Structure 1
């Protein structure tokens, strides 16, 4: 039994060392994280008297809340972590409607946010729209 432990320890160390070298040399932005710009825009056509209230946070960072009038936006830049678990959740409230959604989640967004790493949301009366260029919007889900 002691022989197998002696063999496995150096082997495990070699694998770990190769992984670190790979991350440092071949994938440096994975080690330090990639930056993404996230933007949530109030796309309501007429809510002058009733703002869209937004509150966003991750496990490590509370971005706080804002009251957005028509065409106002709430934006932030984030850096993904080494483990690929970066996740920002936003809660929206408008009148009697309330909805929480994933504003950014690594497995879903690392590719769909495009080469410019831009993740934009447009909130309208009929739902939530996503775009990586703020020209082409796709409805992702409704308020209910």
Structure 2
């Protein structure tokens, strides 16, 4: 009986690994993505859009983006999909912290071109995976 249980356990583990590697490879091994945040303000005046990002690997530092400037990086997802990049955006009195990349949300919607782009505007944050079609994801508040 113990042998049968051991065989059944090994079989179930093998099926699970096959499922994760074939049907959801982005959750099993590293996939590279490009993440980009663009200052899309049309009336930026003299105030820069300040961005500060970090991941579980550490602080990536801050940048001051003038109108049209961008800040981008390439990442590789970790095994079992734990990759998470958080950014804090500040413009004048507005401040917002958001996930610039998070595997459960972005591995599918960024998957076609492996590109996750954010356009930050006066009225909110817009997402695109091709930098042609933008969809508002959320507002500043």
With structure 2 as the length reference, what TM-score do the two structures score? 0.85
| Higher radius of gyration, 1 or 2 | 1
Contact 2:29-2:80 at 8 Å conserved across structures: no
Q: Given the alignment of the two structures, is residue 54 of structure 1 paired with residue 47 of structure 2, yes or no?
A: no
Distance 1:121 1:21 in 2: 34
Q: Give, in angstroms, the shift of residue 102 of structure 1.
A: 1.1
Rate the CA distance shift 1:23–1:51 in 2: closer, same or farther, 3 A.
same
Contact 1:57-1:64 at 8 Å conserved across structures: yes
Q: Given the alignment of the two structures, is residue 16 of structure 1 paired with residue 37 of structure 2, yes or no?
A: no
**Correspondent of 1:120 among 110, 117, 141:** 117
Distance 1:49 1:20 in 2: 53
Rate the CA distance shift 1:94–1:33 in 2: closer, same or farther, 3 A.
same
Cα RMSD for the two superposed structures: 2.3
Rate the CA distance shift 1:21–1:142 in 2: closer, same or farther, 3 A.
closer
**Correspondent of 1:34 among 8, 21, 31:** 31
Distance 2:71 2:126 in 1: 15
What secondary structure, in the 3-state scheme, does the structure 1 residue paired with 2:95 have? strand
Distance 2:10 2:111 in 1: 36
Q: What is the total number of aligned residue pairs between the two structures?
A: 140
